[in-house]
A = this chain, B = another copy of it.
Amino acid sequence: METTWAPRLRDAGLRVTRPRLAVLDALAGHPHADADTLVTVARQAHPTISPQAVYGVLKALVAVGLARRVEPAGAPALYEVRVGDNHHHLVCRSCGAVADVDCTVGAAPCLSPSDTSGFVVDEAEVVFWGLCADCQGAGRPAVVPGASDRVRQQAGQQHTRGGAGA
């Protein structure tokens, strides 16, 4: 298992180390994990790995393109090893679950703005917000900032803060 990663690390100019293999394996098994989760999971293979080491490994992996960092609004950053295919994400407003969405266009940027305002665009990042299958029937409140409040404003509903946590 681990042997699959070694050549990819070397090809990227990175040394093959135990923390890196542990984090890569953790990433492979947890497609959209945050740093904290990765620390926990990576410790199964490397019990003494430190949180800072995980941050360092992730930063290195992202820098060379072996991993991708995703930062949904209102949640800690997530990491994934699926790179290079410019796919997008579905995020649940209630529980924070993330699912991949294939980009039908393919290469980045898959979309282009009609008026670039002088910008040179190289990537279009798309996040679809909604409720996952599990949360739809549970009547759970949206806890992630976004349009949910506007969506509900017609109903005049007030809602309290729910606990979504980790």
Minimum Cβ distance to chain B for residue A159 (Å): 6
Q: Does B68 lie within 8 Å of A71, measured CB to CB? A: no
Interface string of A23-64 (1 = CB under 8 A from B): 000000000000000000000000000000000000000111
Chain A count of residues within 8 A CB distance of the other chain: 68
Task: Give chain A's interface secondary structure class.
Answer: loop
Count the copies. 2
A2 at the B interface (CB under 8 A):
no
Given A148-B122, A153-B65, A128-B114 contact (CB < 8 Å): no
Give the contacting residue for A133; candidates B70, B101, B118; CB below 8 A. B118
In the complex, A56→B65 CA distance in Å? 39
For the complex of A and B, the 9 pairs showing the least CB-CB separation, nearest first, are A118-B133, A114-B164, A71-B73, A121-B130, A99-B117, A101-B113, A65-B150, A123-B129, A119-B130
